Amino acid sequence: MRRDLGLFVVVNAGLTVLLLVAGRQSVPLDARNPDLFVALTAKWLPYALVLATVGSAGIACLAPGVGRGFLLRHFALYAASPLLLFMVRYDPAVLNSQLGAVYVLVAVAFAVHALLGIRAGLPTLGDRRAATLIALTVLATSLMVLPYDRSGYPTASDEPHYLLITQSLLYDHDLDLRNDYDGDRYRVFYPARLPDVHGIGVGNAIYPIRDLGLPILSVVPFALGGRSGVMAMLCLVAALLAAQLYLLLRDLRFSPRDTFLATAATVLAHPILTYSTQVYPDLPAALAFVGAVRLLGRGAAMRLRDLAWASALVGVLPLLTTRAWLISVGVGVVVAFWSLRPLFGGPAPLRATMSSAAQRGRGLGAMTSSASPRGRLRIAGARIAAGGLPFAGIVGLLAYVNGRMFGLYLPAAGYYLISDQSQVLVYSPIVGGLGLFFDRVFGLIGRAPIYLLAFLGAAVLVRRARSGMLPILTPLFLGWLAYFIYIADIAYWFADGSPPSRYMLASMPLLVAGVAGGLEAIRAAARLRPALEAIGWCVAGWTAFVTYIYAVLPETRYELAARIRETGSPGEFWVFIGRLIRPTPGSLLPSLVRIDGASIALSAAWVALAVGLGVVGWIACRPRPLREGEQLDASFASTDSGIAET
């Protein structure tokens, strides 16, 4: 295999050199966009194929089961090159989006190729290695899309303001944005004068109302690569999120197959993949959320260090985005529970002392259960400190910084100060909740119907909770619930101006777990299994297609609620889809921004469908005696799990 890999790398290097030579040829004199043509053929395409080579080689190294055929199949990725070069050479008037449609296909083809390879090697892979490989796939795929997104489309909505804060931190070492808004330094990532100021004037200074977490994270990447560096950092965050989601699902004891499918179908799709090239804090927030949940999921086996990390991650959430306070509240309750548990009748103390137990790295449950009364008190103190101090420290620091800026020592001081300017909470969770899922323009299901499987899998999660998975499902559910109720209640739940489902992003881990549950329910369904499988593939296909469209045509992902209200338009995305598919599927979705009779009826139908899927899932996964023919399946399932456990 080593020899094969060596040859593989050499041949790819040769092909890359050929591609570089081919790409550097002169473009037609009358080319519409010669700079883009040259960039595309001489830089991005070789870059994408080098990334693909690294990804394929990495997968071949880490998953020995993939075989030589996997490496051979990699060369099919080069098929896009002559097509792209043909378009550039023979059609001077070709549109950027037409070139992008072919270029992004390289990323799509690589993702499919890599996933097929990982699936082939899955039986021999451990969980961490499988998670690493999926992360590698996500990283390579999103990095391939990055230059197209970066070059073709400027920042929009809140993105330039986050980067502006980063610039201020990097170049001025302060948070006073006045000189940044007044100057034109931001033109490197925003082509015109910024239409508004996202800050509060305090004296001569303007301080940002945007949360500081992302700008702080972005300082080094921005210093290294400007906007591209920040986008690359977010691609890395998406990759880490993919790995964490895979491990979360394995923690929830989903089979490697379901875990793999659920992770692949969600992290390589909208909204997670779309937001890997968007400068918003929601993706890092999702990573912090899932990280905290996984640490807390160890339950009684959790070590002090785990508790401290979980607490820190809960503290990081409001630093990233104020909305994530609600996730912090949901998860924080569980952190508090595990911190305070000894004070409210934790397990009876046994002989061992806290220090010796801690030295051996045993879990909290072991420590409390084996400590003396005095030791138990010390343990309680240590746990409270571990669970509280990191959170308090981060939030305190945030409050201090806000105090220095606004004179108000509150974690979300900026938003508090402007809260009288616009109504945030409108307390209409039904509209917001339905809209977040089913709205035609801003909802999740129209773009990523793969999440319909989450309704199917809800029952599976409930059964998991009943069978010992409560420690991990509780923070996951509470964090999601608190956050969802909040964003469903805010006036601008649709987060217009940015790609749809931005506000759902941070709470995605529960939905991904639901999707895995849906896959398990499909496997468990007896007679309905073929139909459910077909539906599953259809929704996965549509989700992948939408993700592709969003990557190729970024302009279709930006909608404004005011325009939708005024015109009743189905939105740019559905207008475009109508060119390819007529009647457009968007007509089956309600509008929760411009509510009319049809929307009410459609909303009711979608709710009924969601409930129906939940019922089907419940029926499918209920325990039933195995019939003779099913013995085999059951044994396979246990073998499957057994391999994963190993």
Partner 1 sequence: MWRAAHIAMATMLSVVIWRALHQQWATDNSSDALVAGAISVALPLASAGASILAIAAGWTIRRPERLFAHDGLSLAAFLVCVLVLSLGPLPRDAAGIFFVLAIAARFAPTIFAIATSDAPGWLVAAASFGVYASLMAWLQVSSLLHGDEAHYVMAADLIGRGSVDAGRAYANSALFHSLAGIDISPADIEAHVIQAPAGERLVQGYALPALLVPGWLLAGRMGEHLTIALIAALASWQLYELLHEAPPSRPMGGGVWAAAAFLPPFLPMATHVYQNGLGALAIVAGYRLAFTAARRRFLLAGLALGSTLFLTPRDGLALVALAPFVLWYRRDGLLRFTVGVAAMFALASAVDAVLYGTPLPYAGYLESMTAAAAPGRVSSLTFLFWYGLPAMLFDRTFGLAGTAPWLFIAALGVAPALRSARRTLVPAGAAIGTTLLALSLFRYWEGGYAPPGRYFVEVVPLAAPFVVFGLAAARAWPLRMFAGATLAMSAFAGLVISAVPTRALNTAGDGRIQDVYDAVLALNPLGWLPNFQPLQPDWYVGAYLRTLVAVVGVVALVWIGRRRTAGS
Question: Contact positions toward partner 1, by CB under 8 A?
Answer: 4, 7, 11, 18, 21-22, 24-25, 72, 75, 79, 82-83, 85-87, 89-91, 93-95, 97-98, 101-102, 105, 530-531, 534, 537-538, 541, 544-545, 548-549, 552-553, 578-583
Q: What are phi and psi of 259, to 5 degrees?
A: -60, -45
Least separation in angstroms between residue 299's CB and partner 1 is: 41
Cβ closest to partner 1, residue 552 vs residue 592: 552
Least separation in angstroms between residue 48's CB and partner 1 is: 17
Ramachandran sector of residue 13 (left: φ over 0; alpha: ψ -120 to 50; beta: rest): alpha
Cβ closest to partner 1, residue 2 vs residue 579: 579
Cβ closest to partner 1, residue 87 vs residue 602: 87
Round to whole Å and give the CA distance between 222 and 165. 11
Amino acid identity for residue 278 in this structure: Q
CA distances from 634 to 139, 159, 170, 528, 630 (A): 35, 50, 58, 18, 6
Amino acid identity for residue 27 in this structure: V
Cβ closest to partner 1, residue 361 vs residue 530: 530
DSSP 589: S
Least separation in angstroms between residue 17's CB and partner 1 is: 9
Cβ closest to partner 1, residue 30 vs residue 196: 30
Cβ closest to partner 1, residue 91 vs residue 572: 91
Q: Give the 3-state secondary structure of residue 27.
A: coil
- 100 close to 152: Cβ distance less than 8 angstroms: yes
Least separation in angstroms between residue 616's CB and partner 1 is: 17
Cβ closest to partner 1, residue 424 vs residue 534: 534
Least separation in angstroms between residue 30's CB and partner 1 is: 12
Least separation in angstroms between residue 603's CB and partner 1 is: 24
Least separation in angstroms between residue 47's CB and partner 1 is: 18
Across 46-81, b (16+ Cβ under 10 Å) vs e yields: bbbbbbbbbbbbbbbebbeebbeebbebbeebbebb
Least separation in angstroms between residue 529's CB and partner 1 is: 11
Cβ closest to partner 1, residue 37 vs residue 493: 37
Q: For the purposes of burial, counting CB atoms within 10 Å of the CB of 526, is it exposed (0-12), middle (13-18) or buried (19 or more)?
A: exposed
- 271 close to 450: Cβ distance less than 8 angstroms: no
Round to whole Å and give the CA distance between 519 and 535. 11
Cβ closest to partner 1, residue 65 vs residue 578: 578
Round to whole Å and give the CA distance between 354 and 107. 52
Nearest to 19 by CA among 80, 100, 73: 80
Structure tokens at 298: 């160890």
Least separation in angstroms between residue 325's CB and partner 1 is: 41
DSSP 205: E
